[in-house]
Amino acid sequence: MLLKFIKEIFFFFMTVVGMLGNFSVSVNYMISWWGGPEKKPIHLILIHLAFANFLILFAKVLPNIMVAFGLRNFLYDIECKIVIYLPRVARGVSICTSSLLTVVQAIIISPRASGWRRLRPQSAWHILPLFLFFWILNALISVNLIHSARSRILNISQYKSEDNYCYVMQESQKINWIALPLMVLRDAVFQGAMGAASGYMVLLLHKHHQHVLHLQNSKLLYRTPPELRAAQRILILMLCFVFFYWADCVFSLFLSLSLSEKSLVGNIQKFLALGYATFSPVVLSHREGLLPECWHVQLEKLGKYLSNFSIQ
Contact in structure between 278 and 21 (CB atoms under 8 Å): yes
User: What total of structural domains would you count in the chain?
Assistant: 1
pLDDT in tens, 121-165: 777 778 899 999 999 999 999 888 887 776 665 555 444 444 556
DSSP conformation class of 149: E
Q: Is the pLDDT confidence value at 267 over 90?
A: no
Question: Which of left, alpha, beta for 219 (phi over 0: left; psi -120 to 50: alpha)?
Answer: left
Query: 280 is in which domain, residue-wise?
Result: 2-311
Q: What is the pTM of this model?
A: 0.82
- Top-ranked range on mean pLDDT: pick from 7-11, 172-176, 261-265: 7-11
The CATH number for 202's domain is: 1.20.1070.10
Q: What is the mean pLDDT of residues 220-232?
A: 66
DSSP symbols for 278-310? HHHHHHHHHHH--HHHHHHHHHHHHHHHHHHHH
